[in-house]
Amino acid sequence: MNQKNSLGLNNCFLDLDDPIQLFKAWMDEANKSEPNDPNALSLATSGKNNFPSVRMVLLKEFSQNGFVFYTNLNSQKGNELKENPNAAMCFHWKSLLRQIRINGSVTQVEDKVADQYYNSRGYESRIGAWASKQSKEIENREVLIKSIKEFKQKYNDEKNVPRPSHWSGWNLTPSSIEFWLDGDSRIHERLKYTIDDNGNWIKSLLSP
């Protein structure tokens, strides 16, 4: 028989007032159970045309300040976030039968933060940030290969590849976080945290 928390939910929901702590607990479990990329998430954005788009990205950092991912600022998602700084994230871990949805607003990380992460990446990845005009059409694959070769010649010192000004990180500050657990006969368990005007997290149960 599954243990329940004080809200009558599966004990994996714990009894926490802080959703970031619960996110960490679930992410720690996903790191152990997922076959690859437990930090993968679907990121939904929408530009000034209000037409939504979604893609997979990797979470690189999270804290009480928010959830951070990196990208080309001139990519489709980058341009949409500049036009409309609101976004949604969704993590889904099949191994745990769990999902987390996060809504919030985004801001660019500080340059020193972006520099630190960029410099931790491998040489090929840093070159790729220069060579790829992300989301732009190219005539053929050779155009990209040629660009990579050119930037390798330009930055042939693997320890000294500067971060492009068009490549940085976004921090999503959450306004709501929902935790979901698969249930028998589709009677799922859902717990939502919403932040109030005073910066306090309010918990509520949602119907499946």
- pLDDT tens digits, one per residue of 39-57: 999 999 999 999 999 999 9
Q: Which domain holds residue 40?
A: 11-118+170-206
Q: Report the C-alpha gap between 49 and 36 in whole angstroms.
A: 35
Answer yes or no: is 136 within a domain. no
Answer yes or no: is 106 within a domain. yes
Question: Which residues lie below 8 Å from residue 10, measured CB to CB, with a gap of 6+?
Answer: 2, 3, 4, 181, 189
Task: Evaluate if residue 17 carries a pLDDT over 80.
Answer: yes
First and final C-alpha spacing in the chain? 21
Torsion from C-alpha of 38, 102, 17, 9, nearest 10 degrees = -70
Answer yes or no: is 123 within a domain. no
Say how many domains are in the chain: 1
CATH classification of the domain holding 98: 2.30.110.10
Answer yes or no: is 16 within a domain. yes
Answer yes or no: is 88 within a domain. yes
The residue behind tokens 């028989």 is 1
Examine the residue annotation and report whether 186 is marked as an active-site residue of this protein. Answer: yes
Are the C-beta atoms of residues 178 and 188 closer than 8 Å to each other?
no
| Interval 75-88: pLDDT, tens | 999 999 999 999 99
Question: Which residues lie below 8 Å from residue 124, measured CB to CB, with a gap of 6+?
Answer: none
Answer yes or no: is 6 within a domain. no
Quick one: pLDDT at residue 188? 96
The three-state secondary structure class of 54 is: strand
Answer yes or no: is 66 within a domain. yes
Quick one: pLDDT at residue 1? 47
The residue behind tokens 């000004």 is 165
Answer yes or no: is 135 within a domain. no
Q: Is the pTM of this model over 0.85?
A: yes
Flag the least confident range among 3-7, 85-89, 158-162, 193-197: 3-7
Question: Three-state SS string across 123-134, please?
Answer: HHHHHHHHHCCC
DSSP 12: G
Catalytic residue among 101, 141, 163, 186: 186
